[in-house]
Amino acid sequence: MSSSWLARKFGETVPAQILSSHHDSEVRDDMLLTNILDLFVGGSETLNSSILWFVYGMAAFPDVQKKIRQEILEVVGPGERPEFLHMRCMPYATASIMELMRWKTIGPLDKR
């Protein structure tokens, strides 16, 4: 795999910029792709855990679920999908998500 393959695949994105800025070093395409895959897998695992804990939290606290649903309906409207920009208009939902992350930390926070 060559850096031209990455440039064609990703254009002038971060991986291509990293390769172009380290043309005289030992950064190879396979090393870069391995690191990207590691980040993707790690992120997927954390996202999965976060979603599972959120579902558990909503099942354990139906009153919170009801308030979040009502807030979404008021801000976004029925039949519409919430977008990231709506978050600033949904303080209860945002606070609930932050509280969930405080309550059920996804990763270790201590030194090992």
DSSP secondary structure string for all residues of 92-109: HHHHHHHHHHHHS-SS--
Residue 39, pLDDT score: 76
Decide if 78 is inside a domain: yes
Query: Which residues of the chain fall short of a pLDDT of 50?
Result: 1
Residue 11, pLDDT score: 58
Residue 75, pLDDT score: 96
Decide if 11 is inside a domain: no
Decide if 80 is inside a domain: yes
Quickly count: other Cβ atoms within 10 Å of residue 32's Cβ.
19
Give dist(CA 96, CA 67) in Å, integer: 10
Express each pLDDT in 10-41 by its tens digit.
Answer: 555 665 666 566 555 666 777 777 878 877 77
Contacts of 82 (CB under 8 A, 6+ apart): 72, 75, 76, 90
Residue 98 Rama label (left phi>0; alpha psi -120 to 50; beta): alpha
Decide if 1 is inside a domain: no
- Using a cut of 0.85, tell me whether the model's pTM lies above it: no
Decide if 18 is inside a domain: no
Residue 16, pLDDT score: 60
Domain region containing 76: 27-103
